[in-house]
Chain A
């Protein structure tokens, strides 16, 4: 989140990063892909990198989003449909009326998880919404006669908030089908959903409420700038009064790093990107992936909860 926030990524850029979620910047219309550390060191040392031109897959999203449904739900739904290897070595392109109207933060969230379908990169054609976020750069358009190896079209008017169940991001169900799943922890943060808009949505749900006494709520703003903005807006106060804990910007427990590592048998709902076995701690712990509204609502009820049950 830090790079685009600092204005270091522009539309039309070629970005190589030593993190699998480098694909996030496709949201700005950059060709952006992850590599390993030796690969990146070689780029730094030689100024060169080899890339195979990938085939493209087009995704067209139509319809109108329901309340509490956003970028996270669309990408989880998509991975659920095509599978965790549905786009291996492919360039994904997100388009259609839903994307045209989708806020920048939601676009980042969607592109962030392209790697969870195996995508090499993802592109959203930069438009007016992009130009509000970043002024400079080359705003390339997709060729009208572009060839796609596959085209998927989804009407997402009826889409409910989506949740990926253990232990794969493609194991996706509607939130309403998981009402019986009790949780021990709710984590709101990460490069997927630690943005200011995510914190605002969570705060709307948690405002004046208390989290379930069995549950730990951990909130990690993605960057220092977001942390400060959330502080000034009073969002952090809402989280604290609800019984949550706020940690300094980092990956936190997303990859089992720190502060919120799951013990044996524990269940976590997280706004992160991966729910592989042992990803957040013990090999016998369980991670469910959702948007920030669902994670906040679930913290209150102590079980996986549709936000409409709270507001």
Chain B
């Protein structure tokens, strides 16, 4: 799977309260959630993000609450992939389970700047920075996780394998 979009940069320890504040958790509807995505970290994010765009962040992205609304809101924004130096564990699982592509790469996290055009080959884990003409390699997912991602999330995977 190939993805392409403009980078939006965030720092370390972006937490799930910032990704989707609890005041909007009275719904699970992605069509409503996306409007408030990253609202408390960058209030203009939802209005400027375009389909295919990529979030690039530092360490421990998605720390805090186990709310699945967080990756759901990011996906519903049109974000095609999140690249971070590291992810908080529950966010990592949630993203794979709901079918939001994520990649771990310290070099990519540091080298990619806001508005850089980025191209990703998910199968190979290769991240290309088109603007800077650089290339980075992300850590590969274990096989069983790749199957969940390929199926489009855990629910679809289970339906297909039961």
Contacts and interface: CB of A to CB of B under 8 A. Distances in A.
Interface of A: 18-20, 34-39, 41-42, 45-46, 50, 84-85, 88-89, 115, 118, 120, 168, 255-257, 274, 276-279, 283
Given A118-B60, A279-B17, A36 B89 contact: no
A115 B154 CA distance: 24
Interface stretch (B48-56, B91-99, B105-113, B122-130): B91-99
A88 B89 contact: yes
B94 A38 contact: yes
Given A50-B144, A274-B17, A38 B68 contact: yes
Nearest to A17: B66
A240 B22 CA distance: 29
B13 interface: yes
B89 A39 contact: no
A36 B90 contact: yes
Given A88-B60, A168-B13, A274-B64, A38 B155 contact: yes
B21 interface: yes
Given A256-B22, A276-B18, A88 B90 contact: no
Contacts of B23: 256
Nearest to A254: B22
Contacts of A120: 89
Given A42-B158, A257-B22, A278-B17, A35 B90 contact: yes
Given A36-B90, A39-B93, A255-B22, 13 more contacts: A18-B66, A19-B66, A35-B94, A36-B68, A36-B94, A38-B94, A41-B155, A46-B158, A84-B60, A85-B12, A85-B60, A168-B13, A278-B21
A16 to B, nearest CB: 11
Contacts of B94: 35-36, 38-39
A50 B155 CA distance: 14
Nearest to B58: A85
B3 interface: no
A278 B66 contact: no
Contact of A34 (B63, B86, B90, B97): B90
B153 interface: yes
A84 B63 contact: yes
Contacts of B88: 85, 88, 118
Contacts of B15: 274, 276
- Kindly list the 8 A-B residue pairs having the minimum CB-CB distance in the complex, ordered from nearest: A85-B60, A36-B94, A36-B68, A20-B66, A278-B40, A276-B17, A255-B22, A38-B97
Contacts, number: 90
A117 to B, nearest CB: 10
A35 B66 contact: yes
Interface residues of B, number: 32
B90 A277 contact: no
A85 B98 contact: no
Contacts of B97: 36, 38-39, 42
A50 B157 CA distance: 14
Interface string B76-105: 000000000010111001100110000000
B96 to A, nearest CB: 9
6 contacts: A34-B90, A36-B67, A36-B97, A46-B162, A277-B41, A283-B40
Contact of A85 (B17, B86, B93, B155): B86
Question: Quick one: which of B13, B88, B90, B162 has the most chain A CB within 10 A?
Answer: B90
A276 B18 CA distance: 8
A20 B21 contact: no
Contacts of B131: none
B60 A35 contact: no
Contacts of A20: 64-66, 90
A276 B16 CA distance: 9
B59 interface: yes
A90 B153 CA distance: 25
B79 to A, nearest CB: 18
Contacts of A118: 60, 63, 88-89
A149 to B, nearest CB: 15
